[in-house]
A = this chain, B = another copy of it.
């Protein structure tokens, strides 16, 4: 496991405002390792609604199956997460493990089992011993507190080198509501669904269907726009919970996406999700550089995204970034292999503000020194103009370093 914190880690953590209706607690359940916090319980008040988006893997984990199923209830009282074992590809044992996990949590929280959401991350293919939750669940349920955001974010980490949290506030009906979120990522981060685990909470009251619309509308431009290594986890899960506690402060419930306050919530949630998604890329395994790939002039936005991801996922582009090499020839290669409409002789490419190629060849004013200077930065923008249409998109990724290979060449030991 990596121990050094990513050089791209935020310099400080945001102050997370208290968010009425949810409380956290963490424990050491010894799921995989001893002496390591590996369980998170989030306790939510009655009336909390829930929404989720999940991995598109054809082999999803048992907890993903479980969440998809209980989401039909639309309500939530508890979220139980472990960071030792993904409970993925565990067959009938996996199904028993999620059922038992939910039973244990529901019993401690005094709610229905279908109000318990589950997420697991860690090694896949190994049975999860859900009985390990039993000895710690009562303490988890009783010692939870509303201020444990950073501890909660730490408890869900695996090969992450720093906890990921973010907060936004927004005015509804002249009063403030809060959206707080956390994420874990690191490896196996790719669309679709982009990622990792992320749990987002708001004290606004939002009908379950509207909440799902809200979450779904912001996923494409955030978690589905980040890639570390093109590999997609079997466990990717983003859950959004609305406790509704703000109703007591006179903020009416949002009943549907037609509510005039819906776009306000979309903008705020979008900011928060993009913030978390970027933090995930910045903590990509072995990452030393954060890269934003912008594609414009494409046939349409969808085409721009395919090309942007082709660039962001190219091992040759990613190693060039690691080597601080302004190797735009590899960007051309990645555009070409995407299979989307492109005209070699109309391409223009920038590293940062330095245009290195134009009209299908090296920019006559190209200075390798200036481009190399850009590559020394921690955060690099690679921009491509296809010169075909008005489609544009952007994705985020990181470089591919020897450290990535080291981390993943010996993950299980």
Contacts and interface: CB of A to CB of B under 8 A. Distances in A.
A361 B92 contact: yes
Contact of A89 (B231, B320, B325, B332): B332
B335 A58 contact: yes
Given A90-B361, A231-B337, A344-B59, A405 B408 contact: no
Contact of A59 (B314, B336, B406): B336
Contact of A362 (B56, B126, B327): B126
Interface stretch (A37-45, A262-270, A396-404): A396-404
Contacts of A60: 336, 344
Given A57-B337, A323-B410, A400-B405, A89 B232 contact: no
Nearest to A342: B58
Given A401-B405, A409-B325, A338 B58 contact: yes
A219 to B, nearest CB: 17
Interface in A328-355: 328-330, 332-342, 344-345, 347
- Copy number in the complex reads 2
Contact of A361 (B58, B89, B361, B410): B89
Contact of A406 (B56, B338, B359, B402): B402
A27 interface: no
A316 interface: yes
A37 to B, nearest CB: 23
A94 B362 CA distance: 11
B344 A409 contact: no
B413 A333 contact: no
Interface of A: 55-60, 86, 88-94, 123-127, 187-188, 190, 229-234, 313-316, 319-320, 322-323, 325, 327-330, 332-342, 344-345, 347, 357, 359-362, 400-402, 404-406, 408-413
Given A57-B337, A322-B405, A323-B410, 17 more contacts: A56-B339, A58-B337, A89-B344, A90-B361, A93-B361, A127-B361, A188-B316, A230-B230, A231-B315, A232-B337, A233-B333, A234-B333, A319-B408, A323-B409, A325-B411, A402-B405, A404-B405
